[in-house]
């Protein structure tokens, strides 16, 4: 029976953690509960001990077995750490790596999936520091079960009510099932923009941030894959467990990706590769001269199409496409033109989605049809996409 640690922090909603513990047990998990000091003022450890048949801890020095360290034992054996309800204080402590109680020390020692179900006053949920903590935790791969809208315990209206128990259970099942669907696979990603030099100080480029590539790298690692990212210049960092090859131009991206393609099982072209580069790179700095100026451009190679032609038999090669809301015809055409088995289509006509944004929506187009994700964070979307691609890989 897989173990779970259920961390309960001090929101009025912590009475609902008892129901959550029972539902998780019904799904076949053995649940160990850990209370923060504030939660222990709302609910008694005895309640959870009676429900789960396991010791319930809150003090890091309180050892149920002499000579052992429960925070390490619990962290090593858990298939997931679920924090529900997660208060603003606990989210910030988790985001900043504090280890000042049992729950946060377990979290520091824990390497598996973290599921967070925030519950708090809507203003606290909207507070910049709470949003930053959640962004940071999401970036590190946490599953966040968003709180519901409605009237919260203090009587105010807004988003802050603990999500429903079935929603939290579904996230836990997803997080724990997800661990191994790419185990033993090598995932090769191209990511970010390319920069095509005009002279020594100027280049042609685009607004790609690399966020989707970073989210896919994180999700693939969580699913057990070995990950190589060939990335153009981006400000963000990729997960430290990924092998990252930094390049600038499309030609460099192609060369670097080609040196990894023979081992790759799944190849995803997330990069926004410049289709053209200046025919000549001017030495030094071009000076202003006439009122108009023409720049000669030549076509870059198509990186993902070249990789698709060199991939090993059985490998799955996937392109991304930015389509301005004109239907999926061009995406089906790209399947053939690029020789890829799937195209993940971004509708760039919708405000707040796609390049630079934190949210996105994709339609995955394959020979056998299309499936749409709906709008979600890039982290969730990365998992959504990789689950489907892992299914295609077989
Ligand atoms: N791509 C590539 N090398 C290029 C151009 C694009 O690898 N020189 C890849 C991108 O990484 C992405 C997909 O091809 O996976 C995008 O295809 P593209 O034909 O550029 O489509 P759009 O960006 O949607 O734009 P358009 O059809 O307008 O060219």
Where do the H-state alpha helices sit in the chain?
Answer: 16-26, 37-42, 45-52, 70-77, 88-95, 102-109, 122-126, 128-139, 165-177, 211-222, 250-261, 303-310, 329-338, 378-393
Pairing verdict, β 362-366 and 342-347: antiparallel
CB of 303 closer than 6 angstroms to any ligand 1 atom: yes
CB of 269 closer than 6 angstroms to any ligand 1 atom: yes
70-77 helix and 102-109 helix, angle to the nearest 10 degrees: 50
CA distances from 271 to 28, 71, 249, 254 (A): 41, 41, 11, 11
* CATH code 3.40.50.1950 region(s) in the chain: 3-178
Asked about 34 being catalytic, the answer comes back as: no
Q: What is the distance in A from the centroid of ligand 1 to the CA of 32?
A: 49
Instruction: Say yes or no to pLDDT of 244 above 90.
Output: yes
Protein fold of 3-178: Rossmann fold (3.40.50)
Instruction: Say yes or no to pLDDT of 61 above 80.
Output: no
Provide the token pair at 210: 């690399």
DSSP state of 311: S
Mean pLDDT of 271-290: 95
Q: Tens of pLDDT along 314-342?
A: 999 999 998 887 789 999 999 999 999 99
Amino acid 162: pLDDT? 96
Q: What is the CB neighbour count within 10 angstroms for residue 242?
A: 22
Amino acid 354: pLDDT? 63
Q: What is the distance in A from the centroid of ligand 1 to the CA of 273?
A: 6
Amino acid 131: pLDDT? 95
Of ligand 1's listed atoms, the one at least distance from the Cα of 270 is 11
Pairing verdict, β 369-372 and 362-366: antiparallel
CB of 165 closer than 6 angstroms to any ligand 1 atom: no
Q: What is the distance in A from the centroid of ligand 1 to the CA of 321?
A: 6
Pairing verdict, β 196-197 and 203-204: antiparallel
CA gap 257, 64 in Å, rounded: 52
In the chain, pLDDT over 90 holds for what percent of residues?
A: 72
The pLDDT mean for the chain works out to 92
Q: Which of 30, 25, 33 is nearest to 2 (CA)?
A: 30
Q: Tens of pLDDT along 75-101?
A: 888 999 999 999 999 999 999 999 999
Q: Which residue minimizes the CA distance to atom 21 of ligand 1?
A: 321
Ligand 1 site-directed mutation target among 194, 257, 261, 269, most atoms within 8 Å of CB: 269
What is the pLDDT confidence band of residue 355, given thresholds at 50, 70 and 90?
Answer: low
Q: How many residues does the chain have?
A: 394
Of ligand 1's listed atoms, the one at least distance from the Cα of 299 is 8
CB of 302 closer than 6 angstroms to any ligand 1 atom: yes
Q: Which of 119, 116, 128, 123 is nearest to 157 (CA)?
A: 123
Amino acid 196: pLDDT? 98
Amino acid 76: pLDDT? 87
Instruction: Say yes or no to pLDDT of 235 above 90.
Output: yes
Ligand 1 site-directed mutation target among 251, 277, 297, 304, most atoms within 8 Å of CB: 304
Higher pLDDT among residues 242 and 355, named by residue: 242
Q: Which residue minimizes the CA distance to atom 12 of ligand 1?
A: 320
Higher pLDDT among residues 368 and 1, named by residue: 368
Mean pLDDT of 232-239: 91
Instruction: Say yes or no to pLDDT of 356 above 70.
Output: no
Of ligand 1's listed atoms, the one at least distance from the Cα of 306 is 7
Torsion sign, CA atoms 380, 383, 385, 388: negative
Higher pLDDT among residues 58 and 117, named by residue: 117
Q: What is the distance in A from the centroid of ligand 1 to the CA of 283?
A: 29
CB of 311 closer than 6 angstroms to any ligand 1 atom: no
Q: Tens of pLDDT along 178-189?
A: 667 899 999 999
Rounded to 5 degrees, φ, ψ at 91 are: -60, -45
Protein fold of 186-393: Rossmann fold (3.40.50)
Amino acid 178: pLDDT? 67
CB of 35 closer than 6 angstroms to any ligand 1 atom: no
* CATH code 3.40.50.10300 region(s) in the chain: 186-393
Q: What is the distance in A from the centroid of ligand 1 to the CA of 214?
A: 18
Pairing verdict, β 376-377 and 3-8: unpaired
Mean pLDDT of 372-392: 88
CB of 238 closer than 6 angstroms to any ligand 1 atom: no
Mean pLDDT of 115-123: 96
Amino acid 241: pLDDT? 85
Q: 322-344: b or e for each residue (b if 16 or more CB lie within 10 Å)?
A: ebeeeebeebbebbeebbbbbbb
Query: What's this model's pTM, rounded to 2 decimal places?
Result: 0.78
Of ligand 1's listed atoms, the one at least distance from the Cα of 268 is 15
């Amino acid at each position: 029976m897989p173990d779970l640690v259920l961390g309960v922090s001090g929101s009025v909603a912590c009475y609902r953690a008892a129901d959550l513990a029972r539902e998780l047990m019904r799904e076949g998990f053995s649940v160990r509960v850990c209370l923060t000091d504030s939660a222990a003022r709302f609910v008694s450890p005895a309640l959870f001990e009676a429900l789960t048949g396991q010791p319930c801890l809150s003090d890091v020095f309180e050892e149920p077995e002499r000579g052992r360290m429960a925070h390490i034992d619990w962290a090593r054996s858990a298939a997931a750490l679920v924090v529900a309800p997660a208060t603003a204080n606990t989210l910030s402590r988790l985001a900043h790596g504090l280890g000042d109680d049992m729950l946060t020390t377990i979290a520091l020692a824990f390497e598996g999936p973290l599921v967070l179900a925030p519950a708090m006053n809507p203003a606290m949920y909207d507070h910049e520091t709470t949003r930053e903590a959640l962004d940071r935790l999401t970036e590190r791969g946490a599953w966040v079960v968003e709180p519901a809208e409605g009237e919260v315990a203090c009587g105010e209206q807004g988003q802050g009510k603990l999500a429903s128990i079935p929603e939290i259970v579904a996230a836990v099942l997803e997080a724990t099932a997800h661990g191994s669907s790419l185990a033993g696979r090598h995932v090769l990603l191209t990511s970010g923009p390319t920069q095509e030099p005009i002279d020594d100080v100027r280049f042609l480029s685009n607004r790609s941030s690399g966020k989707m590539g970073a989210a896919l790298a994180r999700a693939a690692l969580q699913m057990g894959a070995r990950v190589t990212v060939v990335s153009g210049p981006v400000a963000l960092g990729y997960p430290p467990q990924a092998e990252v090859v930094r390049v600038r131009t499309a030609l460099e991206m192609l060369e670097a990706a080609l040196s990894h393609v023979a081992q790759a099982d799944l190849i995803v072209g997330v990069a926004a590769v410049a289709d053209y580069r200046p025919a000549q790179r001017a030495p030094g700095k071009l000076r202003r001269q006439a009122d108009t100026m023409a720049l000669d451009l030549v076509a870059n190679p198509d990186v993902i199409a070249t990789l698709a032609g060199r991939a090993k038999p059985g490998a799955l090669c996937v392109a991304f496409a930015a389509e301005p809301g004109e239907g999926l015809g061009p995406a089906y055409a790209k399947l053939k033109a690029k020789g890829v088995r799937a195209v993940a289509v971004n509708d760039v006509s919708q405000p707040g989605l796609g390049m630079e944004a934190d949210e996105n929506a994709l339609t995955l187009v394959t020979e056998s049809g299309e499936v749409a994700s709906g709008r979600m964070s890039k982290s969730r979307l990365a998992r959504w996409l990789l689950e489907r691609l892992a299914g295609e890989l077989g």
